[in-house]
Structure 1
Amino acid sequence: MSDADLDDTPGAEDGDDAPGAGSARRPSVAVFRPADERIDAAAAHLESLGADPVPDPMLAVEPTGAVPSDAPFVVLTSKTGVELAAAAGWDPGDAVLATIGPATAAAARAAGWTVDVVPDEYTSAGLVAALADRVAGDRVEVARSDHGSDVLLDGLRAAGAEPTETVLYRLTRPPEAGESAELAAAGELDAAAFTSSLTVEHFLAAAAERGVRDAAIEGLDSAVVGAIGAPTAETAADRGLDVDVVPDDAEFEALAAAVVDAATE
């Protein structure tokens, strides 16, 4: 769902009150990390960059209790998935373990596992490219959320593998989500940092529930809209959002820096 399954950006207002136009005002930046310690860490990071964070959790994690099945290759697409599997006592054993990016890999190593594959591009397409020459004729277990991209399974099949999928957790929208949508609708939000396609969808759904969907989209037209990678940017564009910033690295720190830089120009 991020492009890293949880875990592929945009402008500031014109005028004397716009950030960087002779004003020292800190730009307000909405962030949509899951409703746990990650939203707190993201808000603290934005504040360290000189922004006024607007934490608005658009994701809640509901574990299913499942663990990855045994297979010659196992793919984990998020830090959350790693932590849930480890907490359940799962171990990759002799399997070739692939993770979608360095944060997921770090979590796996912290669990005591050996990580064999980390793609150069932290996306489903990147995982396929990293595994394509190795998996023909083998089963590949993909363990992730219920919102994983079809790109990964389809790409593995095209490479001659037999992919299976285990849903480790479901991603839902917290009922209280939507403060940032109201701020955007009122023209009081300088930037938004979308960290997955699902955060885009949940933002717009929360805006619709509050009766401000069209106004929120219009408000974001005058703000900086950041997307963590190409898939997220494509989802935003498909739903009427103009994306201004997409960082080279699909990591939150890179997204936050790019969005804050654009909002303060």
Structure 2
Amino acid sequence: MTGKRIVNTRATHQNSRFTALLQSQGAEVIEYPCIAIVPPEDDRPLREALANLAHFDWLLLTSTNTVLALAASYPLAPARLGNAAVGPATARAAQAYLGLETVLLPETFTAETLGEALPIHSGERVLIPASAIARTTLADILRARGAEVTVIEAYRTVPGTGGANVPALLAQKQVDAVTFTSASTVENFMARLSAEGGNHADLASVCIACIGPQTAAMAKAHGLQVNVMPTTHTLDGLMEALAKYFL
């Protein structure tokens, strides 16, 4: 990827690792934050749920943003309950910031796989702290299996700001790839591009790289052709897939 100009759309507080991964392969990284993470407008339901963890059998963590949201403001009450993470980055964050040893990781890092893999019994109580705009897939699967699921808003995903003048760079054909790591990065990228005078047609000659199937589905819904999607839905997997694409 030496010399390739690649847009990183991750939130400012979490873009440094992916930027470093891309730079390690010789890429020139253009940071263009398309999401930001902010607390819930009303955090009482979350505080109450976390203060009563003993009432639950499972705590499911579906993103590093969830972990960081919990660690920032809500000390976990001591409780003996199972916990699971959707992927290795979330599991590492749970250990580092919450002191939780993850007992379950799905084979592939999606909500669907986690919902099917969880060794849950009918009637068990599950707590899922998540974004206000999170999909209901995981909760739906678990409820269909007989679980009592409580979904609590842990944070809000809002449009990001700042970064490079990507609309101008696209118009000048100075971008080789745009990377997306969530459906919300896709939605907000397209919104920012329009609001800042960009032209969606300028993306036609740019590599579109998505971390996983849900992100890719959102990109396709916006009329984008997805060129790269790794089989392992992690930042490392996305970087490796991009490197192969540009060989």
Please give the TM-score of this superposition, normalised by the length of structure 1. 0.82
CA contact (8 A) 1:225 1:259 kept: no
**1:63 matched to 2:39:** yes
Aligned to 1:165: 151
Give yes or no for contact 1:118–1:127 (8 Å, CA) kept in 2.
yes
Q: Which moved more, 1:58-67 or 1:231-240?
A: 58-67
Q: Secondary structure at the match of 2:149?
A: strand
The question of 1:250 aligning with 2:233 is answered yes
Query: Is 1:154–2:131 an aligned residue pair?
Result: no
Of 58-67 and 141-150, more deviation after overlay is shown by 58-67
Kindly indicate whether structure 1 or structure 2 has the higher relative contact order, using CA contacts under 8 Å at least 6 residues apart: 1
Question: Relative to 1, partners in 2 of residues 1:136 and 1:181: Cα closer, same or farther, differing over 3 Å?
Answer: farther
Q: Quote the sequence identity (%).
A: 31
Does residue 110 of structure 2 align to residue 123 of structure 1? yes
Runs of 4+ in 1 over 6 A off after TM superposition: none
Map 1:60-209 → 2, pairs under 5 A = 60-64=36-40, 65=43, 66-67=46-47, 68-69=49-50, 70=53, 71-87=56-72, 88-91=74-77, 93-110=79-96, 111-131=98-118, 133-176=119-162, 179-209=165-195
Q: Kindly state the Cα deviation for residue 147 of structure 1 after the two structures are TM-superposed.
A: 2.0
1:223 aligns with 2:203: no
**Aligned residues between the structures:** 236
TM-score (norm 2): 0.88
Distance 1:167 1:187, change over 3 A: same
Q: Deviations over 1:12-33 (max 9, x none)?
A: xxxxxxx8xxxxx611000111
More helix by share: 2
Unaligned runs of 5+ in 2: none
Deviation at 1:45, TM superposition (A): 1.8
Q: Which runs of 5+ in 1 are unaligned?
A: 1-18, 20-24
